[in-house]
């Protein structure tokens, strides 16, 4: 496990020297998709207009009793330095 974490850290360090990374984590209770979409749009990550921009999005949902859901969204834009 420790070796895997160190390997990921090394990759991220290398990536950070060659790329400009802008991103945000979002954690909200799920109500509906339009609310989640508005929250994501309010971060302005999607407004990067660089020529070779790449975007990444990761989502994880944690269910709780009584139909409550905690939604984690990670949104990132990556460009060359």
Predicted TM-score (pTM) of this structure: 0.75
Whether 57 has a pLDDT exceeding 70, the answer reads: yes
How many other CB atoms are there within 10 angstroms of residue 75's CB atom?
Answer: 20
Domain 19-80 sits in CATH at: 3.30.1660
Contact 18, 81 (CB under 8 A): yes
The pLDDT mean for the chain works out to: 88
**What pLDDT score does 6 carry?**
64
Nearest-angstrom CA–CA distance, 32 and 13: 36
Tens of pLDDT, residue by residue over 2-19, are 566 566 677 778 877 888
């Amino acid at each position: 496990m420790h070796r895997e974490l160190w390997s990921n850290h090394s990759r991220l360090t290398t990536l950070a020297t060659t790329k400009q990374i802008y991103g945000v984590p979002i954690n909200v209770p799920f109500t509906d998709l339009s609310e989640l979409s508005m929250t994501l749009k309010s971060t302005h990550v999607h407004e990067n207009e660089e020529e070779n921009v790449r975007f990444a999005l990761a989502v994880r949902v944690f269910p709780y009793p009584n139909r409550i859901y905690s939604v984690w969204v990670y949104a990132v834009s990556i460009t060359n330095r």
